[in-house]
């Protein structure tokens, strides 16, 4: 059975994304600290210059997933359906230049499927193809992704919600503890981050600060 939207929204609250190319530290240690800080989902994104491949990539994925399982943190694989199936990950995330979402859905069955979208047309297609959530961004300028588009994510999230589309959405791109609340105000259900945690001197504190920023925003909403 596919994941329910309300459960998906809970998972997206603080979504950490990382591969070896995103940190100078030991990935397992960074993830462990991020989990201690309160992340709600993790995506293994081993992509770009200097990234691992084949057995080394799979071994790291298995070790990271083992850590996530211990702490009940959902583990998503970026753009590698075969790896996700081989290690029985919780799901897969694909971008517009990756394998088509409808093909991925057929392969992964009821596992979680996340899709990056940058236009309303891409949003509608992703939903039609079986996405459980959308990654929308960049919200702010970012250097974490070499192929990042101009920051227009906030406006797109507002447009999606204005159109009455209720699919779970996570915002990505240049998000920090200082601007996290602004992302949620657009209609996002959560924030996803790479460097704000992976490059932090103290990843646990970085994750916790982000978590507190979200909690503070939730309190403001409930009192307004």
Residue 32 annotated as part of some ligand binding site: no
Cα–Cα distances in Å, from 136 out to 24, 63, 160, 212? 27, 28, 10, 22
145 is catalytic: yes
Angle between helix 101-108 and 120-128 (nearest 10): 30
Residue 78 annotated as part of some ligand binding site: yes
Residue 46 annotated as part of some ligand binding site: yes
100 is catalytic: no
Residue 195 annotated as part of some ligand binding site: yes
Residue 194 annotated as part of some ligand binding site: yes
Residue 66 annotated as part of some ligand binding site: no
Q: Which helix (H) or strand (E) holds 153?
A: helix 153-162
The DSSP bridge partners found for residue 193 are 16
- Catalytic residue, chosen from 45, 105, 111, 211, is 45
116 is catalytic: yes
The one-character DSSP state at 88 is T
3-state secondary structure of 113: strand
What's the distance, Cα to Cα, between the start and end of the chain in Å? 36
Cα–Cα distances in Å, from 115 out to 87, 103, 134? 20, 12, 5
Measuring CA to CA, which residue among 18, 184, 203, 195 is closest to residue 93? 18
Residue 2 annotated as part of some ligand binding site: no
- Catalytic residue, chosen from 9, 57, 111, 116, is 116
- Catalytic residue, chosen from 145, 192, 211, 213, is 145
Residue 44 annotated as part of some ligand binding site: yes
Which residue carries 């240049």 as its tokens?
A: 174
CA of residue 158 relative to chain centroid, distance: 19
Residue 82 annotated as part of some ligand binding site: no
Residue 21 annotated as part of some ligand binding site: no
Residue 116 annotated as part of some ligand binding site: yes
Binding residues: 43-47, 78-79, 98, 116, 142-145, 174, 194-195
For the annotated catalytic residues, the residue numbers are: 45, 116, 145
Annotated binding site for Mg(2+): 79, 98
């Amino acid at each position: 059975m596919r994941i329910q939207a309300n459960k998906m929204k809970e998972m997206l609250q603080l979504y950490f994304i990382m591969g070896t190319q995103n940190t100078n530290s030991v990935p397992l240690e960074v993830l462990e600290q991020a989990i201690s800080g309160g992340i709600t989902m993790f995506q293994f994104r081993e992509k770009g210059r200097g990234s691992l491949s084949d057995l080394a990539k799979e071994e790291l994925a298995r070790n990271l997933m083992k850590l996530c399982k211990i702490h009940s943190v959902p583990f998503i694989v970026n753009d590698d359906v075969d790896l996700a199936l081989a290690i029985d990950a919780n799901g897969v995330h694909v971008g517009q230049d990756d394998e088509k979402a409808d093909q991925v859905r057929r392969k992964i069955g009821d596992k979680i499927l996340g899709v990056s979208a940058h236009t309303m047309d891409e949003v509608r297609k992703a939903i039609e193809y079986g996405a459980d959530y959308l990654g929308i961004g960049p919200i702010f300028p970012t250097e974490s992704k070499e192929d990042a588009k101009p920051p227009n994510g906030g406006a797109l999230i507002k447009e999606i919600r204005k159109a009455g589309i209720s699919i779970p959405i996570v915002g990505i791109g240049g998000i920090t503890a200082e601007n996290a609340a602004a992302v949620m105000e657009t209609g996002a259900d959560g924030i996803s981050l790479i460097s704000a945690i992976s490059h932090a001197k103290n990843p646990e504190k970085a994750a916790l600060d982000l978590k507190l920023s979200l909690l503070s925003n939730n309190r403001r909403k409930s009192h307004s």
